[in-house]
Amino acid sequence: MSIPDKSWQPPYVVLETSMGEVTLELYWKHAPNTCRNFAELSRRGYYNGCKFHRIIRDFMIQGRVSSGMQVVKRMGLVETDNNDRPVDPVKIKRAYVKMH
């Protein structure tokens, strides 16, 4: 899998989680290196199967969510242990780049 050209700037990354989909909008103008790294790792499948290791209601999922806020709210309701780790695993099933 080749590395995309520098002009490659997908506007979104979608996380398909065990609780539903969340679309993340990337702010290339403000954080180009972070966006490129996150988008490229998502494109390569790096996050597929990763677990959310900590969930704090109304806090841990930060930033603007383009769509999927209902999923974020559901995640905030999961039962957690004393270390804020979900009792039942909440996973990213698949992360991928969305062009439109």
pTM check: above 0.85: no
Instruction: Delineate the domains of the chain, giving CATH numbers in brackets.
Output: 12-98 (2.40.100.10)
**% of the chain beyond a pLDDT of 70:** 89
Nearest to 17 by CA among 84, 81, 100, 96: 96
List the beta strands (DSSP E) in 1-100.
12-17, 20-25, 65-67, 92-98
pLDDT digits 0-9 by tens, 15-33: 998 888 889 999 999 999 9
What pLDDT does 63 receive?
A: 39
Q: What is the reported pLDDT for 64? A: 42
Is pLDDT larger for residue 42 or for residue 61?
42
Contact 51, 32 (CB under 8 A): no
Question: 91 near 52, Cβ under 8 Å?
Answer: yes
Q: Which two tokens stand for residue 30?
A: 């403000």
